[in-house]
């Protein structure tokens, strides 16, 4: 029990000494010359107490000079109410009407006291904005029908061009509070559903009924033309890639592996089919001749049958049948009188055919001589004139020459 009490007291001390420190500023991306811009001073938790004193704002067209505000815009006293808090502190700055359009640097100087000894600390914050025709309020800012705006979870009342606030176009709320700039509309109840609001961020005004007001539940949202274009463009950009494969599909490595796995078996199958086709072509093709045929005989006159695989028991019978078929083919060719030159097609010339050719030669004398009672003998005489003879004269060779 004693330990728990010590821990509780320590936690209470830590919570009481907890403080907030200003860490930066946030401004619209585009500001209009002569308008009022809302700048957020951002604060977060810090380990020791911080007493914020004041903050000053300045703007410079183009490039800012180091450690200089440029053109002084405004200054804001912070004090105890805006010290040691966590959240944003709102500041309203008036943009000069003579500020040229283009890039500009917004600078803020912060003066605070830090620690138990109240050590003086100065910090500089800078950001770049664009001076244009209008002041932007962010892509998530929408205007409501009652002249209020919704931006980043906060409802604000904007300024009005009618300085008297008598025009129906001006907002009907907070007409007497900070009429030259925007004002945050704060709900009086946090967490529960409530329709009671006050002007500004001071919730103590909720205790007075004269400071509170209600908003209608059927308040609509009025979109500007640029917001409509932005919403339509974002929806089109979201719908366009629906037909395109997303990055969650198969990677390049997986697709390459699948392609290789399909290509290799396919190539192997094509190779086997090619080898089988070549084998069948060799089987049924005509064999090549080992020598050159005579001019009188053509290659097509020889018919070659492909090898026939049969039972060895019938190999002799099939070979005899093949020879008989070839012999009948040759005999039919001789009987039909198909000739090429002086030779019959399909069979080599016989001795008598060669003999008839030799008798036509004028240089050869053929004589018939009887050799006994059996058959005549044919002899070839010598040519009528002897062939030319060439002799080599004897030549002597000596070592003395």
Q: Is the dihedral of CA 356, 358, 362, 365 positive or negative?
A: negative
3-state secondary structure of 342: coil
Measured between its terminal Cα atoms, the distance across the chain in Å is: 146
Q: How far, in Å, are 64, 98, 102, 112, 123 from residue 67 at the CA level?
A: 9, 23, 22, 17, 10
Query: Which pLDDT score is estimated for 232?
Result: 52
pTM, rounded to two decimals = 0.36
Give the pLDDT confidence of 67-91 residue by residue, as tens digits: 788 889 999 888 888 887 777 788 8
Distances (CA, A) of 327 to 126, 333, 350: 115, 10, 16
Residue with tokens 């912070």: 78
> Hey, is 235 helix, strand or coil?
helix
What CATH number does domain 19-132 carry, 1.10.1660.10, 3.90.550.10, 3.40.1710.10, 2.60.40.1930? 2.60.40.1930
How would you classify the pairing of strands 212-213 and 197-199? antiparallel
pLDDT computed for residue 58 by the predictor? 93
pLDDT score recorded for residue 243:
41
Q: Which residues of 130-141 are buried (b: 16+ CB within 10 A; e: fewer)?
A: ebeeebbbeeeb
What's the count of helices (H) and strands (E) in the chain, helices before strands? 5, 19
Per-position pLDDT tens, the chain of length 401: 444 444 444 444 444 445 677 888 888 888 888 888 888 887 877 777 888 889 999 999 888 777 788 889 999 888 888 887 777 788 888 899 899 999 898 899 999 988 888 888 888 888 888 898 877 754 445 556 566 776 656 777 776 666 777 776 677 788 888 776 678 888 887 655 567 888 887 878 888 888 888 877 655 454 445 445 544 554 444 444 444 444 445 667 777 778 888 888 888 999 999 999 888 888 777 666 666 666 655 555 555 555 555 455 544 554 555 555 555 554 555 444 444 444 444 556 677 777 777 766 545 554 555 545 555 555 555 555 555 555 555 544 444 44
Q: What angle do CA 202, 208, 211 make, to 5 degrees?
A: 65
* C-alpha torsion angle, residues 349, 354, 356, 360 (rounded to 10): 130
84 Rama sector, left if φ>0, alpha if ψ -120 to 50, beta otherwise: left
**Other C-beta atoms lying within 10 Å of the C-beta of residue 222:** 13
The phi, psi pair for 219, rounded to 5°, reads -70, 120
User: Domain spans of the chain?
Assistant: 19-132, 141-222
Based on its alpha-carbon atoms, the radius of gyration of the chain, rounded to whole angstroms, reads 59
pLDDT at residue 362 in the model: 46
Question: If residue 260 lies in a helix (H) or strand (E), which one and from where to where?
Answer: helix 252-284
What does the alpha-carbon distance between residue 245 and residue 238 come to, in Å, rounded to a whole number?
14
Report residue 127 as tokens. 């950001």
How many angstroms separate the CA atoms of 213 and 251, rounded? 59
- 287 phi, psi to nearest 5 deg: -70, 155
Angstrom distance (rounded) from CA 21 to CA 15:
15
What's the DSSP call for residue 205? G
- In this prediction, residue 88 carries a pLDDT of 77
pLDDT value of residue 139: 41
Q: Is 31 in contact with 135 (CB distance < 8 Å)?
A: yes
Give the integer Cα–Cα distance in Å for 326 and 184. 118
């Amino acid at each position: 029990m004693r330990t728990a009490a010590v821990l509780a007291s320590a936690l209470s001390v830590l919570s009481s000494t907890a403080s907030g420190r200003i860490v930066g500023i946030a401004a619209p991306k585009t500001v209009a010359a002569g308008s009022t811009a809302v700048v957020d001073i951002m604060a977060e938790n810090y380990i020791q107490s911080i007493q914020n004193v004041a903050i000053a704002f300045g703007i410079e067209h183009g490039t800012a000079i180091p450690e200089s505000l440029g053109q002084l815009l405004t200054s804001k006293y912070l004090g105890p109410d805006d010290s040691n808090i966590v959240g944003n502190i709102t500041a309203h700055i008036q943009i000069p009407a003579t500020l040229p359009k283009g890039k500009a640097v917004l600078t803020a100087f912060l003066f605070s006291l830090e620690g138990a000894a109240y050590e003086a600390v100065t910090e500089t914050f800078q950001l770049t904005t664009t001076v244009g025709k209008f002041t932007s309020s962010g892509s998530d800012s929408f205007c409501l029908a009652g002249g209020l705006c919704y931006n980043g979870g906060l409802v604000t009342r904007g300024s009005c061009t009618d300085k008297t606030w008598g025009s129906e176009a001006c907002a009907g709320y907070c007409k007497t509070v900070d009429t030259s700039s925007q004002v945050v509309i704060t709900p009086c109840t946090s967490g529960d559903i409530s329709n009671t609001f006050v002007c500004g961020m001071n919730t103590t005004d909720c205790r007075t009924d004269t400071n509170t007001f209600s908003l209608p539940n059927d308040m609509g949202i009025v979109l500007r033309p640029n917001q409509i274009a932005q919403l339509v463009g974002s929806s089109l950009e979201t719908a366009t890639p629906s037909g395109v494969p997303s990055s969650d599909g198969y990677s390049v490595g997986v697709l390459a592996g699948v392609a290789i796995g399909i290509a290799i078996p396919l190539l192997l199958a094509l190779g086997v089919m090619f080898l089988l086709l070549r084998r069948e072509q060799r089987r049924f093709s005509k064999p090549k001749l080992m020598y050159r045929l005579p001019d009188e005989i053509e290659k097509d006159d020889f018919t070659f049958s492909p090898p026939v695989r049969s039972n060895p028991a019938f190999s002799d019978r099939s070979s005899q049948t093949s020879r008989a078929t070839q012999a009948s083919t040759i005999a039919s060719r001789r009987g039909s009188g198909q000739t090429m030159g002086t030779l019959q097609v399909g069979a080599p010339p016989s001795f008598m055919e060669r003999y008839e050719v030799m008798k036509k030669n004028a240089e050869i004398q053929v004589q018939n001589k009887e050799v006994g009672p059996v058959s005549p003998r044919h002899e070839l005489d010598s040519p009528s004139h002897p062939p030319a003879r060439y002799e080599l004269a004897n030549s002597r060779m000596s070592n003395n020459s």
